[in-house]
Amino acid sequence: MTRPFRSVLYIPGSKERALEKARDLAADAIIFDLEDAVAPEEKAAARATLARFLEEVEYAPRVRIVRINGFDTEWGRADAAAFAHHPGADALLVPKVNSPADLDAVAAVAGDKPLWAMMETAAGMLNAAAIAAHPRLEGMVMGTNDLGRELNSRFRADRLPMMAGLGLCLLAAKAQGRVIVDGVYNAFKDEAGLRAECAQGRDMGFDGKTLIHPAQLEIANAAFAPSAEEIDLAERQIAAFNAARGQGQGVAVLDGRIVENMHVATAQGILARAQTIKVGAIAVGAV
């Protein structure tokens, strides 16, 4: 992963004020939405508005992802055609992906844009491994609102009803080395709730979280960055392991815990992620 994906902000493609505001926001990536955040009567206008903004505004180095409508709607194909060769779009996000065939259909008209998949249906959860293995796929986005609707599950702060789906998609993404970001936290004024859900997603292994409001950016950016303590521990683990190796040992002991080669690999990953975030954050003016 060469870019951080700690904070992935949805912006309705129809909202000029939000599109304008986004040029100064510290999001690692933006999902410019043409699907659920845009009313049916606004679809065509939103497509045109978004095309213009992506041409005129320099959102890079934020990763610019356009969420198109599904190909089972009257707008999906026109959305894909409008952004397949648009220089301001880095990738297309396909909603409600049930199987790799849904990605095939979009890939056929998406130029050479990488694809992202909304993972938000029961069928999608069960086919996550095959979806993650699609050669055009770059990342997965959890769609926990749609999934909850289909499951008829209730919102719980511990997200127990979501765990099977979240876990299947995480395993699938990791097995293929894809990026995977967690679902949104709807109560955008509830900072403590968001912080707790970010921590849970981070602990599970998500790369970041999708967000609906700028007020959520700082919390996600902090939660998905390695902490100062983690960086310090990683550096000390690597040093301790190297010292043990120098003495012909394969295992080191640090702070009463063993350090083996896989811990060193994890530690190196933490340092690499911290470096990626540092470079990315400077680029979007968020240090």
- Smallest separation (angstroms) from ligand COA to the CB of 52: 17
1, 21, 39, 266: which one contacts ligand COA (CB under 6 A)?
Answer: 21
Stretch that binds ligand COA, among 13-21, 146-154, 166-174, 275-283 (CB under 6 A): 13-21
Of Mg ion, ligand COA, none, which one sits near residue 12, judging by CB under 5 to 8 A according to partner kind? ligand COA
| Residue 22 contacts ligand COA per CB under 6 A | yes
CA 67 to chain centre: 13
Whose Cβ is closer to ligand COA: residue 21's or residue 85's?
Answer: 21
- Smallest separation (angstroms) from ligand COA to the CB of 37: 3
Judge whether 139 and 113 are in contact, CB under 8 Å: no
Of ligand COA, Mg ion, none, which one sits near residue 115, judging by CB under 5 to 8 A according to partner kind? none
Of Mg ion, ligand COA, none, which one sits near residue 68, judging by CB under 5 to 8 A according to partner kind? none
| Residue 70 contacts ligand COA per CB under 6 A | no
8, 37, 198, 219: which one contacts ligand COA (CB under 6 A)?
Answer: 37
Of Mg ion, ligand COA, none, which one sits near residue 16, judging by CB under 5 to 8 A according to partner kind? none
| Residue 220 contacts ligand COA per CB under 6 A | no
| Residue 46 contacts ligand COA per CB under 6 A | no
The residues binding ligand COA (CB under 6 A) are 9-12, 17-18, 21-22, 33, 36-37, 184, 188, 212-214
